[in-house]
Copies of this chain bind each other. A is one copy, B any other.
């Protein structure tokens, strides 16, 4: 039974540590597969063969067998979600808790975090993306701050 993976497919480093936690390794192939889904965005679902083809097109060769293995692995880690189609054949898409915008309040002193949402942030991200011609995938706002407890411990009032 796989370990509970809390953080969605975020940074490359997240994937690495998730894998290491299970004594597994981060390989270019695994990165390529996950990265492909991240580039596609959330709604998209692909079959193993499609993943294989797309990676080939992107000049990121990964053998079909490895694609299958990796899809299964990433699913078991919760980073991908498996869809069983009635017509036969399976599809995969980005894991469920992948909000396009999820934000964190991080205490720089003790490291504790709070999560929050705010549509205004996504709007700002979309505005900037559109201004520069980018296609937005995900917005992550990190607010570096001091939590109530640590703020009290710090002997200074700015």
Write the residues of chain A forming the contact surface with B, with a CB cutoff of 8 angstroms.
2-10, 35, 38-41, 43-44, 54, 57-58, 103-114, 116, 118, 120-121, 123-125, 127-129, 131-151, 153-156, 158
Contact = CB atoms under 8 A, between A and B. Distances in A.
A93 to B, nearest CB: 12
B38 A108 contact: yes
12 contacts: A2-B112, A2-B147, A5-B112, A9-B144, A38-B144, A40-B158, A41-B158, A44-B158, A120-B123, A129-B143, A134-B143, A140-B141
Nearest to A123: B120
Interface residues of A, dominant DSSP: mixed
Oligomer: number of copies: 2
